[in-house]
Amino acid sequence: MSSGLIYAIGFLAQLLFSGRLFVQWFLSEKHKRIVTPTLFWKLSLIASFLLFVYGYLREDFAIMLGQSLTYFIYIRNLHFQGEWQKAPAALRYFLLAFPLLILIYGYNNGAYDLEILLHNTQIPQWLMILGIVGQLVFTLRFVYQWWYSEQKKESHLPKGFWRLSALGALLIMTYAIYRMDPVLMVGHGSGLIIYLRNLFIGKNEKVA
């Protein structure tokens, strides 16, 4: 596949990720509190699907790892909001199985193996570690959000989510600069502004 098409997939994913943040930001400014619209999770799931494909095509384990961990949390939040159950059963089964299917397909067709993903000669070991740490921090925000929402029995974006978002974005932007990955630079650069704004909006809320 041409590099232009691969980057197009990545930029489309980041556009959707940015779109979800702008929707959430707009509604939070309107209501003067942090809100969690259903559209946020729908766009998250579609974007995660595309970015997982992008990471696969780029043979970038850090990207694939981050998306595979958050992908199912997006589904869980849609379940909280009663939207997941409304989707056709065939679509739900496909989306649930997709990450595993693409990994099996790539492995069986010799597209990659775990050794290649973890020891990509184009990515120095220290940079791979930085990318993985950044993705793990970025992923932990959704693990925290998931735990918090499970406690409250509703989908919610607490202030801790935005703090982890800002830290993860800074780490991944550093990774992206060294990796010369415009998709990650644009996506996380624009997102950082919204993460900080949500922290400002939520600073007077009682929940954290």
Specify the pTM.
0.71
- What's the burial of 180, exposed, middle or buried (CB within 10 Å: 0-12/13-18/19+)? exposed
Query: Does residue 207 form part of some domain?
Result: no
> How many structural domains comprise the chain?
1
22 in any annotated domain = yes
Distance separating alpha carbons of residues 183 and 189, to the nearest angstrom:
10
Q: Is residue 208, in this structure, part of any structural domain at all?
A: no
pLDDT at site 31:
86
Instruction: Give me the helix-helix angle, 38-58 and 89-108, nearest 10°.
Output: 20
List, for residues 83-111, the tens digit of each pLDDT value: 999 999 999 999 888 877 776 765 555 54
pLDDT tens digits, 164-202: 999 998 998 888 888 888 877 877 887 888 898 888 887
What does the buried/exposed string (b/e) look like for 5-40 if buried means 16 or more CB atoms within 10 Å of the residue's CB?
ebbebbbbbbbbbbbbbebbbebbeeeeebbbbeeb
Q: Would residue 94 count as lying in a domain?
A: yes
Task: Evaluate whether residue 49 is within a structural domain.
Answer: yes
Residue-number span of the structural domain to which 109 is assigned: 3-202
* Residue 92 forms part of a structural domain: yes
